[in-house]
Amino acid sequence: NSSEAEDVSQEVWVKVIQASKNYQAKDKCRSWILQITRNTCFTFIKNQRRVYFVGEETHLLEVDDEKQE
């Protein structure tokens, strides 16, 4: 989804700016930004799975409640 990609991209740059005070010149800038990008993408994907699972679980709980009445 292009909207989600833009959101993650914006989040990456916010994190880069926030972490720039801790950046050490001995590190390569490119690999440092790629690491932030990778971690942000993994977190996004993990959170998407969690939201889907919780939503599905909530739906199943509602169905079970209706059967008990």
Provide DSSP, 19-68: HGGG--TTS-HHHHHHHHHHHHHHHHHHHHHHHHHHHHHHHHHHHHHHHH
pLDDT above 50 for 67? no
Tens-digit pLDDT profile for residues 6-60: 999 999 999 999 998 888 777 788 888 999 999 999 999 888 765 444 545 554 4
CA of 4: how far to CAs of 19, 30, 38, in Å?
22, 23, 15
Name the nearest CA neighbour of 46 among 38, 58, 35.
38
Give me 63's structure tokens: 């169905």
Taking the whole predicted model, whether its pTM rises above 0.85 is answered as: no
